[in-house]
Amino acid sequence: MLKSVRDLSQYHAAAGEFQVVLDIENDVKWVPAALAGERTLFVAAGSVNAYVDLGTLKDDGLILSPDGKTVELRLPKPQLDKPNLHHDRSYVFSQERGLINDLQALAGPPDVQRFYVAAEAKLAEAAKQSELLKRAEDNTRVMLTGMLQSLGFQVKVRTD
């Protein structure tokens, strides 16, 4: 039975949609903002999945009672996947640039990669602060309890 639960591998137990606003400012020391510098408000939308890695279930992660009627399950803690940034819903809301930065912008398209990197970090932080991990834990408990009860077992679940 332990092997069967481990074979489920990663159980993707919850997903969250997030939207964050980044205020990114690049100042140039000793130069007025009207000449050089940049401030951008970037709106980022994305999703984050939470999963429980059942493949890491320890040998004592599933204990069958001596009478064979009860199973005690010790679940690993849920984890967050890397955020999935939705490029089609992420955009520059506002941008203020100094004269030098305006002239540089004429030379080519803006480098938005730094916005995406910062956005992924902020989306990950938003997911950590949300109830996503708790929902993943609850959903995993419900799924495994239902599965084992359908096999005729009483189930006790604990999270490591």
Query: Taking a C-beta distance cutoff of 8 angstroms, is the pair 153, 143 a contact?
Result: no
Q: Give residue-wise pLDDT tens across range 149-159.
A: 988 888 887 76
Cα separation values, 24 from 70, 92, 118, 149, Å: 55, 11, 9, 52
Question: According to the 3-state scheme, what is the secondary structure of 58-125?
Answer: CHHHEEECCCCCEEEEEECCCEECCCEECHHHCEEEEEEECHHHHHHHHHCCCCCHHHHHHHHHHHHH
pTM: 0.75
User: Which residues face 79 on adjacent strands?
Assistant: 51
- The pLDDT tens digits for 15-73 are 999 999 998 776 666 665 555 567 778 999 999 999 999 888 888 888 888 898 888 88
In this prediction, residue 84 carries a pLDDT of 96
Could you report the per-residue pLDDT of 81-109, keeping only the tens digit for each? Answer: 999 999 999 887 776 665 555 555 555 55
